[in-house]
Amino acid sequence: MKLKNDIIIKNKKAEFQFFLIEKFKAGIMLTGTEIKSVRAGRANLSDAYCFVKDGEVWMRNMHIAHYKAGSYNNHELKRERKLLLNKREIKKIEQKLKEKGLTLIPVEVFFNERGFAKVTISLAKGKKFFDKRASLKEKDLKREIDKNLKY
């Protein structure tokens, strides 16, 4: 039942709160009970963010619920998780993060065709209030057009 690039968890607020500039795909280091919870869809990316520390990319505040069948060996809910990227990509991200106003956020978690958990991270710039209002107007306009095309 493996589906190619089966997206399990999405950060739905990311496109509303940020302008997504550049995307990267990275592996994510998870423990046994974490991977089982993620496969069950019991994770949340809404408060998560990434940072570079000592030449490595880390993700913080990704909430992965406890695995029901896990015993005392269950994982911490919001621990820091290491992301696996090439050195070239890490250097590129590090240089871009030095620009004012850019941040690194996870957008989605999926499983590749080999069954490994991957995360799509994006360099993002925060939207101002009027930008968010414009996004809502575009969304409503698109919904209205789609509704009229159905009839």
pLDDT per position as a tens digit, 33-67: 888 888 888 888 888 889 999 999 999 998 888 87
Left if phi > 0, otherwise alpha if psi is -120 to 50, otherwise beta: which for 101? left
What's the DSSP call for residue 17?
A: H
**Amino acid 2: pLDDT:** 53
pLDDT per position as a tens digit, 71-124: 777 767 778 889 999 999 999 999 998 888 899 999 999 998 888 999 999 998
Determine the Cα–Cα distance for residues 123 and 20; give it in Å rounded to an integer: 6
- DSSP reduced 3-state for 56: strand
β-bridge partners, 54: none
What CATH class is the domain 6-150? Answer: mainly beta
- Give the global pTM: 0.78
**Amino acid 83: pLDDT:** 93
Give residue 18's pLDDT band: very low, low, confident or very high (50, 70, 90): confident
